[in-house]
Structure 1
Amino acid sequence: MRFATLFAIAGLAAAAPTPAGGPSGHDVTIEGIAFAGSGCPAGSVAGQLSSDLTTVTLLYDSFVAQAGKNIPASQYRKNCQLNIKLKYPSGWQFSVFKADYRGYAQVPAGDTGTCKATYYFSGDSKQISSTTLIKGPFDDNYIKTDQFGVESTVWSPCGVEGLLNINSEVRLSPPDATKPALLTVRSSFPSFPMFHHCISS
């Protein structure tokens, strides 16, 4: 079973509070992407960059957390660490504006599913996280939306190309549940282009 993840940059700048005269979505391109984690181990992800290098689609085989009778405790949590190298105009800083995560959850009464994503740039200790709890009983698709303002988000360093890191995870509690439980990530859609001018120190 494959789950699709779509990261898009092109055409999304209008949704973010970019200053007048700032870069457009087409001024930002994805230069490369790497991934690792129990939810996206080597060989379990298929990806494709668009011809204009502004969109990457990832298909997951393994981003599924499970709990229940005869299911090892190691399966109750899955994560995926994405490292996305981005190119954007000099003199600007860049950040995540919004991200949507879609998946399926089967959580029995008394149990809880947790969906969490943490965003940060390499070389910067500041992080921003968003967590959604799915309390049982629940048996349906879900949507998790992360939306960040200018004051609350993290920004790429000035003067260098930004390496954006997104660590997403799904987990079930309690991990030793006896009733079947399932929590997946099928797709995510971060909107990247939020910019402001670099400020010289």
Structure 2
Amino acid sequence: MHLSTLPLFAALVVALPSPNPSPAITVPLPGGPSGHEVQIEAIAFAGSGCPAGSVAGQLSSDLTTITLLYDSFVAQAGQGIPGASYRKNCQLNIKLKYPSGWQFSVFKADYRGYAQIPQGDTGTCKATYYFSGDSNQVSSTMTIKGPYDDNYIKTDQFGVTSTVWSPCGLEGLLNINSEVRLSPPDATKNAQLTVDSTDLKFTQVHYLQWQTCS
């Protein structure tokens, strides 16, 4: 599987790994003590739904939202379509540094897309969130039953008891594994499940929340 890296400049821009990566940027921690900063180092991605050159994104200036755009996150099934196309996935690794005494978690994520699913078939959108080195994880699944031919939105929102938090005062690597899948994979009628309703780009918005460590 190909692994690509998104160095963060003023905005996230897709780039191939290079021997001399561009320096990371730093931005103030919202609500944090004066002089403390969070360093956003990189976003890596790999998977059939996010090959090299197919992802772009932007990080909000207040560190509350990461918006990612995909142009290859499209699952397809039906006559004349390769069998492996019924499922597409993307594994994101988001690396951040932040001051001792602070931590963050994903508490909401919005997935927008388009589905064309015939009678008797189904489409599934799933996302799993976890931090490297931590066995705790949370997942959310949405199923779309045919017949369906319209845009959709999938919102993941986790309560306090189910929220996955980053390590306290350490460098955290947040993993987000998302997938779209059609069933049955050997459908005779054409089916499609994408993740942007207008231009076949997948838009994924991850909201970050911060708290002081107890």
TM-score, structure 2 as length reference: 0.75
Tell me: CA distance 1:163–1:150, structure 2 relative to 1, closer, same or farther (3 Å).
same
Q: Structure 2: how far apart are the matches of 1:132 and 1:104?
A: 13
| 1:192 aligns to 2:208 (yes or no) | yes
Q: Which of 133, 144, 154 in structure 2 is aligned with 1:134?
A: 144
Counting aligned pairs with the same residue, the percent is 78
Q: Structure 2: how far apart are the matches of 1:106 and 1:176?
A: 16
Deviations 1:151-172 (A, max 9, x none): 1111111231111110100000
Q: Structure 2: how far apart are the matches of 1:74 and 1:164?
A: 28
What amino acid is aligned across from residue 138 of structure 1 in structure 2? Y
**Would you say the 8 A contact 1:108–1:180 is kept in 2?**
yes
Tell me: CA distance 1:181–1:117, structure 2 relative to 1, closer, same or farther (3 Å).
same
| 1:33 aligns to 2:49 (yes or no) | no
Provide structure 1 residue ranges, at least 5 long, that are not aligned to the other structure. 1-5, 14-20
| Aligned match of 1:112 | 122
Q: Structure 2: how far apart are the matches of 1:29 and 1:101?
A: 26
Provide structure 2 residue ranges, at least 5 long, that are not aligned to the other structure. 1-10, 13-26, 196-201
| Aligned match of 1:90 | 100
| 1:175 aligns to 2:185 (yes or no) | yes
| Aligned match of 1:143 | 153
- Structure 1 segments, 4+ long, off by >6 Å, are none
Q: Structure 1: how far apart are the matches of 2:159 and 2:98?
A: 20
Tell me: CA distance 1:94–1:58, structure 2 relative to 1, closer, same or farther (3 Å).
closer
Following superposition, the deviation at residue 22 of structure 1 comes to 6.5
Q: Structure 2: how far apart are the matches of 1:72 and 1:103?
A: 22
Aligned residue-pair number: 179
Q: Structure 2: how far apart are the matches of 1:22 and 1:183?
A: 41
Q: Which of 75, 95, 99 in structure 1 is aligned with 2:85?
A: 75
Following superposition, the deviation at residue 45 of structure 1 comes to 2.3
Q: Structure 1: how far apart are the matches of 2:210 and 2:189?
A: 43
| Aligned match of 2:4 | none
Q: C-alpha root-mean-square deviation of aligned residues, in Å?
A: 2.6
For the residue of structure 2 that corresponds to 1:80, the secondary structure is strand
Query: Greater RCO between the two (CA within 8 Å, min separation 6)?
Result: 1
Tell me: CA distance 1:151–1:127, structure 2 relative to 1, closer, same or farther (3 Å).
same
TM-score, structure 1 as length reference: 0.79
| 1:160 aligns to 2:170 (yes or no) | yes
What amino acid is aligned across from residue 164 of structure 2 in structure 1? V
Q: Structure 2: how far apart are the matches of 1:104 and 1:179?
A: 17
Q: Structure 1: how far apart are the matches of 2:110 and 2:212?
A: 23
| Aligned match of 1:3 | none
For the residue of structure 2 that corresponds to 1:74, the secondary structure is helix
